[in-house]
Amino acid sequence: MRDVIEHRAGFPVERALRGTAAAARSDVVLALLEQQGAAVSTARRWRLPPYASKPLVLFSVWLAEDIRSAAPEARRQLAKRYSGADLITHMSVHETEILEDAGISRDRTLPVTFGVNDDYYTPGTGPRDIELLAVGQDRGRDYRTLFDAVRGTDLVLTLVCAPANVAGLDVPDNVRMMGLVPLADYRELLRRARVVVVPTHELAYPTGQSVALEAASTGACVAVTGTQAMREYFEDGTTARLVDVGDAEGWRQLLLELRDDPAQRAALGASARVAAQTRFSARGMWAEIAASCVERGLV
């Protein structure tokens, strides 16, 4: 029954139904991620209790990108689906305009500074014995460009991702495929990596930011694609090294440079760790959202 309902609705419903009793006792409903807020938003539009009287905050990741890449009618449907939300957060300033163009008023949006758990992602005590590490199965990953960069070199790349991420790609011999790993193993890989590489496409949101900032929090040297959104989180030469979108030759030159420059890696890693603690912590992100809820009178 659940599968039939959710298939026809086009969004998850079960958690909103299971949450009705808790929502009745709560000051605000926070949806993680935006899809989980679709049913609550619909209930608010239809004035269904208990959600009708509860402010709804959507913690969104993909909404602006989905709107940007959708056909006109699909954009209208997405804006309508989330019209019951009082506040929609997003992770890059330029996403605000995308949402506004779709009919979501600016006073219902909030660009937040994404943060990670810097108490969990801490520097390790062992050696950094992994030359290059890439992690991630987000739709924004650009492993084709990364493979072109390391192909034919003596660089050694360790890659953690789902098989679907590399389907149809020619994986070079110097790439060590690990598949998916548990969370604790992932943290240990970040601690062991000399350089954490995050190659991405240009999307509306800062795709790859979780891995990049978690790596930064461990004190790893981070190299990322310099998308418009990611440049809000990393500064080239200070907290990371940035490469243009799709620039395989640029990646090759940078990775060879970082491989042979331990002093640069150490300096970048130290600066990245400080930035994660002072500017990009989860504590700061949630405090920012909470303060906005108070400021806007939602709680």
- pLDDT tens digits for 146-156? 999 999 999 99
pLDDT at residue number 1? 87
Taking residue 277's Cβ as centre, other Cβ atoms within 10 Å add up to 17
Q: Judge if 80 and 60 occupy the same domain.
A: yes
Burial of 263 (0-12, 13-18, 19+ CB in 10 A): exposed
Using alpha carbons only, what angle is made at residue 273 by residues 230 and 255, rounded to the nearest 5 degrees? 60
β-strand 175-179 against 157-160: which pairing, if any? parallel
> Is residue 123 situated within a structural domain?
no
Q: 80 lies in which domain range?
A: 2-115+282-295
Q: Is residue 270 part of a domain?
A: yes
Confidence at residue 191, expressed as pLDDT on a 0 to 100 scale: 98
- Same domain for 85 and 216, yes or no, is no
Residue carrying the six token digits 């084709």: 144
With H, G, I as helix, E, B as strand and everything else as coil, classify residue 157. Answer: strand
125 in a domain, yes or no? no
Give percent of the chain with pLDDT exceeding 70. 100
pLDDT tens digit string along 281-294?
Answer: 999 999 999 999 99
Q: What pLDDT shows up at residue 30?
A: 97
26 and 78 share one domain: yes
Q: Is residue 175 included in any domain, yes or no?
A: yes
Does residue 212 form part of some domain?
yes
In this predicted model, what pLDDT tens digit does every residue of 60-109 receive, in sequence order? 999 999 999 999 999 999 999 999 999 999 999 999 999 999 999 999 99
When pLDDT is cut at 50, 70 and 90, the band that residue 189 belongs to is very high
**Would you state the pLDDT for residue 7?**
86
Query: How many structural domains compose the chain?
Result: 2
CA distance 299 to 281: 23
Residue 182: pLDDT over 90: yes
Residues 6 or more apart whose CB falls under 8 angstroms from that of 107 comprise 296
Q: What is the CATH number of the domain that holds 63?
A: 3.40.50.2000
What value does the CA radius of gyration of the chain take, rounded to a whole number of Å?
Answer: 21
pTM, full prediction: 0.95
Cβ contact 179:160 at 8 Å: yes
In sequence order, which ranges of 35-154 are alpha helices (DSSP H)? 38-45, 63-69, 72-81, 95-101, 143-150
pLDDT score, position 5: 87
Please state, in angstroms and rounded to a whole number, the distance separating the CA atoms of residues 161 and 53. Answer: 42
Establish if 244 belongs to a structural domain. yes
What share of the chain in percent tops pLDDT 90? 97
On whether residue 122 sits in a domain, the answer given is no
pLDDT for 174: 98
Q: Mind listing the pLDDT tens digit for each residue in 99-139? A: 999 999 999 999 999 999 999 999 999 999 999 999 999 99
**Sheet hosting strand 87-90, strand order edge to edge:** 29-32, 56-59, 87-90, 109-111
